[in-house]
A and B are shown apart, each in its own frame.
Chain A
Amino acid sequence: MAQQKIFGYANRISVKQGEEITFHVNCDGASEAQAQLVRLIHGDAHEAGPGFQEEEVAHPLNGAWQVKKQFTQLGSFLQVEDSDNRLAVEGPFTLFCHIWPTIPKKGARQTLLGRWDTRNNTGFALGINPEGYLEFWVGDGKEVDYVTAELPLVARMWYFVGASFDPATGKATLYQEGVANRYNSLLGKVVPHDYASHVRQTFRFRHKNVASVPFLIAGARDHHLLRGDFVNDLYAGKIDRPAICDRVLDRTELDACKTGAKPKAAAILAYWDTTAGYSDRGVGQTVFDAGPHGLHAEGVNHPVRAMTGFNWNGRDDCFRLAPDQYGGIEFHPDAVTDCRWDETARITIPSDLQSGIYAMRLRIGPGTGITEEYIVFIVRPAKPSAKLCYLIPTASYLAYGNESLSFDAHIIQPMTGQPPVVTELDIETYEHREYGLSTYDHFEDGAGVCFSSYLRPVINMRPKYRMSSMNITWQFPADLSISAWIRHQGYDCDFITDEDLDREGLDAIRPYNCVITGTHPEYVSERMLDAQEDFVAGGGRLIYMGGNGYYWVVGFARDNPACMEVRKLDSGMRAWAAKPGEHYLQTTGEKSGLWRNRGRAPQKLTGVGFIGEGFETASPYRKMPDAWHRTASWITEGIEGEIIGDQGLAYGAAGGIELDRYDLSLGTPPHTKIIAATGGHSDNYVLVTEELLYAYAGLVGSLDYRIRGDMTYFTAPNDGAVFCTGSIGYGQALPANGFDNSAAKVLANVVEAFVKDGPLPGTRWTLEEKQWR
């Protein structure tokens, strides 16, 4: 029997009462799965907490679901809309484009552009052979003829490449010239490479056009008995302004095209102008054909745009300045942003189902490990009714979705100070890699991953999961500790997601008195940030429950809101660095990187911002003098002594993992009070890189006082306020000792004050407070 495993995803991450949600499931070794709707209560089995808890929910669609093997199309490519087969050229033709290959010597064929069927060997294409040489080939279904360049392509260098073919004479001509300038490629002109190759050959065979074979850019049609048609021979690297002409272009004409000139209009069959479509709001996934037939191409799995082209001059650093220099589209054979699986089932969310965190639990066989799947979604109320709102940081879940740092990242063991603790699930997903990567990973060619979507199984967005490199819960399962506490306290609470906030802005949270965040809301769009700032300024109360929040500038794809984009650059604790000139989001046109570098350090909204991180130990907080100030003493009411948060599921205390600090120089509101602060961290805790101007010895926990988490509080206009824990570990401390602990007590004081209408405790001292500072 085949190994049993089951994985799935939903078409939505946030769904309102009364709305529909669809599930898409891939299963090996079983044709039927037991489905059960569950409400997720707590996600960590840690012995210091309540353990894993879920609650089964009655639903008509619980029970046996028919499931099947489903296949995922890996790789990004462009599919040309050519229903009339205008590119099924029978006469002479020329193909050309600029390329910047990243793994030319891949050991497998890569197709640049053409109409090629790899299974039946029919059609024509220009590509790179397994040894890394530019090659053009034609096939008639029985035989294939090739013409190959004399020199291998060099990785990360820009070339202009082309091929022409005249079926009447059989003459095939290959054109390869380097077009590197001082900025656009890996190597400069001091390297004595010869990049040019021009080869002519007379083919014995002619190409055969088959109507069903599509014209593709960065891939070729293939077929599998079970799977059917799919795209293979995927290309890794950039392509700029690909084209096909309906005659043989001579050397002089191709020399002109090499510089970026278009061929004469009469010769063009299709010319995909990869620089067209840009605005100051970015660019979409459609690549426009400037030729006579309008054969536009659509990106599959998000080919990366807003990338420098062959003619990038190193001076204009954004497509908003010079779109004509941003024709590069980057393709990755291991990219996945949408599995596009058949629908397995759809359910309607009962109109009386309480807002919260739910999952469709699917089990086959033993129903544990990889034979159990939880497809997670958030249920919003049809109409807001609670005073408290839990803002689920789904953008950050996407950022970390399917990360594999334990296996691939050399930095992870020195960072965490411990060997990873991996499970069967980690190994299974790492080995197969069919569900895509996180924005902490690199594609096989070394490029950082900038898109992440939930239209694929997200292995670490489930209960019971621990991040292997740190052996603690992280993001989604860690945030269940907060919802478990909310439930334990009996608070009436509505749940919404980052996606809702990005789409609806302030309207999504305006009805609430208090918004509480997850443990690590690190990835934030401008609309999300604006909404929270306006919420607080308008009288709302925000509880920022984590550390390293409000950090990265992200955008959501206009054609697929399930997909988030981030570019990591300049500074910040980052898994990769975007290349020069590629710092702007294609989804919104904004500069990505840190919000701090855009003039909106997290301190401006919350009072605190990222200062340090460490992963093997945690510390409690100690009260600071402001804890006893008459305007804020209510926060620690009931806490005996000076220590807060000396228990927890994440390394044993509330203050740890990633820590945030009060900093007036970065915009902490001047009247902010430091209620308590952690300290005495181990030297595994290090200062964040965005704080560094000069590096020097001693920027570690036991030597640098700045490395601590600050619990802060400040009041805002119209009875608004913000309370911050300054530590990721605080959320995981809440369930310790049956929810009876000092961290939970402090938070209860704050929530219960924040949800009440009217002035906050201590505000009768406002005048005195102004005089005091």
Chain B
Amino acid sequence: MSEADTTSVADADLHVRANFDKITRSYLLSVLSDALIEEHRRKPEGHHSEPLTRLLNWCQTRPLHEQYAVLQEAGGCYRVVRLSGKPRVPPARVGSESYASLREARHAVFLNHIKDLTGK
């Protein structure tokens, strides 16, 4: 093995993580329902049902570049942004919707994760 070969080896841990994520997504798709989404809309914080707890855990532990945040604008409204995952690169806006309340914006973040999960 040459020096160049070893320094260019990818992180094999990513293969294992991808497999774990595939299994997790499969489970989450099996429990995803309108009722689960409504549970989050009604109560985004605190104790949740087990399926929602697991779904939120998946949302919150995705790689940084797949994470979202809420941008609070000077006027007081909120928007959804996506983190870059790259140092010094600011987040990018997702869609054009703005939300009057933080609670609505947080639920919109959740819906974006659902969209990523289902691919729809």
Contacts and interface: CB of A to CB of B under 8 A. Distances in A.
A471 interface: yes
A73 B55 CA distance: 45
A421 B102 contact: yes
Interface in B34-76: 44-47, 53, 56-57, 59-61, 63-64, 67-74
Contact of B46 (A194, A427, A433, A617): A617
B3 A417 contact: no
B88 to A, nearest CB: 6
B3 A421 contact: no
Interface in A160-192: 191-192
Given A154-B7, A422-B69, A471-B102, A414 B60 contact: yes
Contacts, number: 88
Nearest to A651: B45
Interface stretch (A60-68, A402-410, A501-509, A517-525): A402-410
B32 interface: no
A567 B74 CA distance: 37
A413 B1 CA distance: 40
Given A151-B3, A152-B4, A410-B63, A423 B45 contact: no
Interface in A471-525: 471
Contacts of B4: 152
A733 B70 CA distance: 25
Nearest to A432: B88
B88 A420 contact: no
Interface in A404-445: 406-408, 410, 413-414, 417-424, 427, 430-433, 444
Contact of A194 (B3, B56, B84, B109): B3
B56 A702 contact: no
Given A154-B7, A193-B3, A419-B106, A414 B70 contact: no
B81 interface: yes
B87 interface: yes
B63 A154 contact: no
B30 interface: no
Contact of B90 (A151, A369, A417, A430): A430
Contacts of A140: none
Chain B binding surface SS class: mixed
A164 to B, nearest CB: 24
A683 interface: yes
B83 interface: yes
A420 B70 contact: yes
B6 interface: yes
Interface residues on A, range: 35 or more
A689 interface: no
A191 B73 CA distance: 52
B106 to A, nearest CB: 6
B91 A193 contact: no
A368 B102 CA distance: 21
A410 B17 CA distance: 15
B90 A431 contact: yes
B56 A417 contact: yes
B47 A702 contact: yes
Contacts of B90: 427, 430-431
Nearest to A409: B64
A70 interface: no
B38 to A, nearest CB: 19
B7 A368 contact: no
Interface residues of B, number: 37
B3 A616 contact: no
A682 interface: yes
Contacts of A424: 73-74
Given A151-B3, A194-B3, A430-B88, A423 B47 contact: no
Contacts of B64: 408, 410
Contact of B45 (A154, A191, A616): A616
A682 B106 CA distance: 19
Which of B57, B59, B91 counts the most A-chain CB atoms under 10 A from its CB? Answer: B91
A154 to B, nearest CB: 6
Interface in B9-47: 44-47
Contacts of B102: 421, 471
A408 B106 contact: no
A413 B59 CA distance: 9
Interface string A545-573: 00000000000000000000000000000
Contacts of A407: 83-84, 91
A417 B60 contact: yes
Contacts of B106: 418-419
B9 to A, nearest CB: 11
Contact of B69 (A369, A419, A444, A684): A419
Contacts of B81: 422
A414 B57 contact: yes
A444 B87 contact: yes
B83 A418 contact: no
Which of A152, A420, A682 has the largest number of chain B CB atoms within 10 A? Answer: A420
Contacts of A151: 3
Given A424-B74, A431-B88, A702-B47, A419 B68 contact: yes
A194 B88 CA distance: 35
Contact of B71 (A414, A423, A444): A423
Interface in B69-106: 69-74, 78, 81, 83-84, 87-91, 102, 106
Contact of A616 (B46, B63, B88): B46
Contacts of B87: 408, 433, 444
B109 A419 contact: yes
Contacts of A617: 45-46
A172 B15 CA distance: 45
Contacts of B57: 414
Most buried by A among B7, B89, B106: B7
B7 A152 contact: yes
B35 to A, nearest CB: 21
Interface in A429-471: 430-433, 444, 468, 471
Contact of A418 (B3, B45, B89): B45
Given A413-B60, A616-B46, A682-B45, A192 B70 contact: no
Q: Among B3, B4, B67, find the residue whose CB has the most chain A CB atoms closer than 10 A.
A: B3
Nearest to B3: A151
A397 B57 CA distance: 30
Contacts of B6: 154, 191-193
B15 to A, nearest CB: 19
A433 B86 CA distance: 13
B100 to A, nearest CB: 14
A191 B3 CA distance: 10
B5 to A, nearest CB: 10
Given A407-B84, A417-B45, 15 more contacts: A152-B4, A192-B1, A192-B6, A408-B64, A410-B61, A413-B60, A417-B56, A419-B67, A419-B106, A421-B69, A423-B71, A430-B88, A444-B87, A468-B69, A684-B46
Closest CB pairs A-B (n = 4) = A616-B45, A413-B60, A414-B60, A420-B69
17 contacts: A154-B3, A406-B69, A407-B84, A410-B63, A413-B60, A413-B67, A417-B56, A421-B71, A421-B72, A424-B74, A427-B71, A431-B88, A616-B45, A617-B45, A617-B46, A682-B45, A682-B46
Interface of B: 1, 3-4, 6-7, 44-47, 53, 56-57, 59-61, 63-64, 67-74, 78, 81, 83-84, 87-91, 102, 106, 109
